[in-house]
Amino acid sequence: MRTTVFVVEEPGGDFVQTEVELDDPREDEVLVRVVATGLCHTDLTVPTMLPPEMLPTVVGHEGTGVVERVGAAVSGIEVGDHVVMSFRSCRSCGPCTAGDVGYCEQSLLLNYMGMRADGSTTMSRTGADGQQQTVFGSFFGQSSFARHAIAYADNCVVVDKSLDLTRLAPFACGYQTGAGTVLNVLDPAPDEPLVVFGAGAVGLAAVAAARGRGVETVVVVDPAAPRRAVAEGYGATALDPTEPGAAPVEERVREATGGGAAYAIDTTALPAVVLQAQHALRSRGLLVALGLGAAEYTIDAIDLLQSGKVVRSSIEGEADPLVTIPELIALREAGKLDVDHLVATYPFEKIADAVADSKAGAVVKPVLVWGE
């Protein structure tokens, strides 16, 4: 079928609207008419890393929509279902069978290589020379910067049709990662302070989950005043790391938390900030680094060895989308995960504005929406 997508034509290039031919769904695939897709930092970062031979490509991995066709081998999903599309996993390797689907042995192939597991691609278009050109996709098993997406039973979460798919899109990755890290990795007690570096969607979802969980002291560090204001709305202490004449950030965090945070989350992927996060911890504190970007971090080994601190990462907040997304939506419905106000919607054709506003810190979570 013919459909509209937004492609990246060259490494680090802009998103360009174009028409492609999308395959019919195979027996294990699901065709989804996309309603809304969250714009995530990963959608901006990954295309800058791709070699030219993997372009043009369609990204987008926080898609929601309505199922239009279902392959014969798919169970549990029906035409007309509303779904949230998240990351893929094989569901059969060692990590998957142990419940650690974020660490699937086939994750790179299923989520990042631009093709199906058998090496075939789902999209093509007619090039300027009149020849058929491969368009890479299958990003997180969806490539949902598109009017239609091919997805799978392992990454489609069926949701109640009464829920607003525009508000649910960020649960596919950003909210799942931030809130999942708090709930699945940290599991903080009310008296265990948390500091979050970076008040984007991931960071603020972590704040929302912590506050909903009853954590009494939450500190947020971000240079963007609008995002600090949102953090303060949750009852967090918000610090500007660029404030002239202020004490070093780690000292200010230690003061705000009564000697250091029990837990820290970094969403910035900035090496200097990760080091600040380590120094902001109390003895035996835990830092979880979530940001994607820098190839290397600097860790203070002396501080680490003398304090018993732990520095680790987490993929998608240790979540299984088929389990975690319904759990988080239930918390939202119960008023214990207050995230709806983080969304700013844009028509898909305004994707450049969404990118610019996100980079400037003017909005927290851009969500791209298709018109009728």
Answer yes or no: pTM beyond 0.75: yes
3-state SS record for 156-221: EEEECCCCCHHHHHHHHCHHHHHHHHHHHHHCCCCCCCEEEECCCHHHHHHHHHHHHHCCCCEEEE
Amino acid at the residue 221: V
Domain annotation covers residue 331: no
Number of domains observed in the structure of the chain: 2
Task: Please indicate, yes or no, whether residues 163 and 51 belong to a single structural domain of this protein.
Answer: yes
In a domain? residue 309: yes
Structural domain boundaries, residue 273: 175-316
User: pLDDT at position 130, please?
Assistant: 81
Co-location of 167 and 222 in the same domain:
no
The helix or strand, by DSSP H or E, that contains position 324, with its residue range, turns out to be helix 321-333
Q: How many C-beta atoms surround the C-beta of residue 333 within 10 A? A: 11
Q: Which of 42-51, 78-87, 98-107 has the lowest mean pLDDT?
A: 42-51
pLDDT tens-digit profile of 164-182?
999 999 999 999 999 999 9
193 pLDDT above the threshold of 90: yes
Residues 165 and 186 placed together within one structural domain of the fold: no
Q: Looking at residue 214, which CATH number applies to its domain?
A: 3.40.50.720
Specify the CATH number for the domain of residue 98: 3.90.180.10
Distance (Å, rounded) from C-alpha 264 to C-alpha 217?
12
